[in-house]
Structure 1
Amino acid sequence: MVEVMKLEPVGKDYLWGGTRLREEYGKKIDITPLAETWECSVHPDGKSVIANGEYKGRTLADVLKEHPEYLGSKASNGELPVLIKFIDAKKDLSVQVHPDDKYARAHEHQNGKTEMWYVIDAVEGASLIYGFRHNVTPEILRKAMGTGTLGKHLQKIEVHKGDVYYVPPGTVHAIGAGVMVAEIQESSNVTYRVYDYDRVDKNGMKRELHFDKAVNVMDMSIAPDVSQKPRMVRYYPGCSRELLCRCKYFEVERVQVTKGSSFSVMHSSFQVVMCLDGYGEIETSDEDRKPMRFQKGETMFLPAGIGRCRMLGDVEALKIRC
């Protein structure tokens, strides 16, 4: 019988990152800054590795290539549809936008990038950029770039721990300094930078901007209202559950376990458990296998069809499936 796979992430040292993923989330990745950890990824730019069991030391990408049934029947193209990250923004990220599937596949030979953020933590007064305050045009944006006034067109939103933001392709956006998020996105690494605060990298070079491509894919209308609304939390003996996001690419649920939470991983889809806080273990119906223990900062891949599972402990986690 297949087993729960604990994953070793890949780190990224983007210039805006901090040190919290190493100091608070136990990431043994010796790069500074440690901006992102790609927790569950088969993308060529960063493949997560299996840390236990039969497939220990192999990439998740290779195992799923051999066993596409682990993805489940909903993954129609035989590829893991998601890339799951922790992000520690010590400084502001660049103002950026992502293309949709049609544009990205035609011009970048990758998927587009639909994404969702769950705010794990945010310092007082932290913010993010989400869309435009009013309708704009390429000409308005180009002039604003030249005069350093782009900010007056952007919608800036104060963020707090527990907020959720769905970011469809074409939405200009940026995570602000002092924000830590769990990001669930399509399996893609296509980003078009619009503005990067004239920063330079460790080699003294400004990072490339992609203005012309950005305006080709950008939604230039007024941004929708993304103010936080009450979410429905369902309470069960020993746990609570709330649906954070459901779109054509993924479904994300937040689970708070105080004693135990039972769930099933059907043949239709894999599931990924991302531990945000606490510690616990996952039991499966295979009595010959020991429970998979995990703690804050760790991520597990549960192959489709693994069946009945039970999460025990004192845990805050995200559960992701397609």
Structure 2
Amino acid sequence: MVLTPFVSETVWGGRRLIDEYSVVTDKRNAAEAWVMSAHKNGSSTVANGEFARKSLREVYLEHPELGGKNCAGFSDFPVLIKFIDAAADLSVQVHPDDAYCLKKGSGAGKTESWYILDCEPGAYLLLGFEKDITREQFRQSITDGTLTDYVKKVPVKKGDFFFIESGTLHAICKGILLAEVQQNSDTTYRIYDYGRLGFDGKPRELHVEDAVNVTHTVVYKNPCTPKKDGNVTNLVACPFFTERVLDIDGSFDGTADEKSFVSLLILDGSGSLECAGETLEFSKGGSIFIPANCGDYKINGEAKILETRV
């Protein structure tokens, strides 16, 4: 299935996804393109085949077997994949885990990962703290406006990969374009937003108390080191998703077994996919969802592809 994204515009978003990744929207910008989403707040849409013009959420609710056996253990479709274009700094924020959301009675936990597609010279992320601090110090830094004195700036370059577990303070900063794979959640606790206004002319809401409750006030250490094996780079395998990058120059053979769907996000290049007697053409920015149990598939062309499974 070829997917078209749900597009989100924000005060920090840019237009690179529109100009370079074939994202179509009449919104002011394309801050985020939810390229594989079955979330209630914004679902991708199927563009071809028997489910054409239906949302991926609708299709999955009607046919949960398309997700595969590994999805059956989750209460909802487990993964959301995005492109994010930060023309300005995102807020300093944190995401809760499932246990906190269950206790609170709302939201969903969010562990995520970032693959850097491009960035301006000198670009950086905010990730965790320069040194371990107490929860009381964290709360006081928010109150007195000194939070950014404590957080850690992490320089980035194209091709870097970061795994961000729930509870990690973070911010994507100006000039970064990335692909995000995450738990299927839209729950964010905003801590600091530079005093700027939203499109409605009002300050954007902060969620300080929840943030203090869930943030790990420690130095960030990236738990994942990508491992290259021929034309495949394994990024991460966690309880929520497994990711790898395929660098294809000619052809690549894969399998969609009964365990999981396969998401193919085209980061660069073009080519075709042969699967279940069907051939689909793809290009940069494209998103393809191969249902579980479709069997063997072949990718032809020259392309860099982010492959995600559960």
Structure-1 residue corresponding to 2:206: 209
Distance 1:21 1:108 in 2: 35
Deviation of 1:245 after TM superposition, in Å, equals 1.1
The answer to whether the Cα contact below 8 Å between 2:224 and 2:236 also exists between their aligned partners in 1 is no
Mean Cα displacement is larger for which, 136-145 or 213-222? 136-145
Is 1:25 paired with 2:25? no
The answer to whether the Cα contact below 8 Å between 2:264 and 2:308 also exists between their aligned partners in 1 is yes
Q: Secondary structure at the match of 1:261?
A: strand
Is 1:302 paired with 2:290? yes
The answer to whether the Cα contact below 8 Å between 1:163 and 1:228 also exists between their aligned partners in 2 is no
Deviation of 1:200 after TM superposition, in Å, equals 0.5
What TM-score, normalized to structure 1? 0.93
Deviation of 1:203 after TM superposition, in Å, equals 2.0
**Which residue of 197, 217, 220 corresponds with 1:220?**
217
**Which residue of 15, 39, 61 corresponds with 2:11?**
15
**Which residue of 173, 180, 190 corresponds with 2:177?**
180
Distance 1:46 1:108 in 2: 21
**Which residue of 37, 54, 62 corresponds with 1:58?**
54
Is 1:131 paired with 2:119? no
Structure-1 residue corresponding to 2:86: 89
Q: When the two structures are aligned, how many residues end up with a matched partner? A: 309
**Which residue of 276, 281, 288 corresponds with 2:272?**
281
Q: Secondary structure at the match of 1:18?
A: coil
Structure-2 residue corresponding to 1:293: 281
Judged with a 3 Å threshold, the aligned counterparts in structure 2 of structure 1 residues 31 and 265 are, in CA distance, closer, same or farther, namely: same
The answer to whether the Cα contact below 8 Å between 2:82 and 2:180 also exists between their aligned partners in 1 is yes
What TM-score, normalized to structure 2? 0.96
Deviation of 1:109 after TM superposition, in Å, equals 3.0
Cα deviation, 1:154-186, whole Å, max 9, x if unaligned, reads 011100000000000100000110001100000
Give the alignment's Cα RMSD to 1 decimal. 1.4
Distance 1:18 1:10 in 2: 15
The answer to whether the Cα contact below 8 Å between 2:9 and 2:30 also exists between their aligned partners in 1 is yes
Deviation of 1:285 after TM superposition, in Å, equals 4.2
Is 1:191 paired with 2:188? yes
Deviation of 1:232 after TM superposition, in Å, equals 2.8
**Which residue of 283, 305, 308 corresponds with 1:317?**
305
Deviation of 1:246 after TM superposition, in Å, equals 1.0
Instruction: Report % sequence identity.
Output: 38
Structure-2 residue corresponding to 1:36: 32
Distance 1:228 1:250 in 2: 13
Q: Which runs of 4+ in 1 moved over 3 A?
A: 226-229
Distance 2:107 2:289 in 1: 23
**Which residue of 155, 165, 169 corresponds with 1:168?**
165
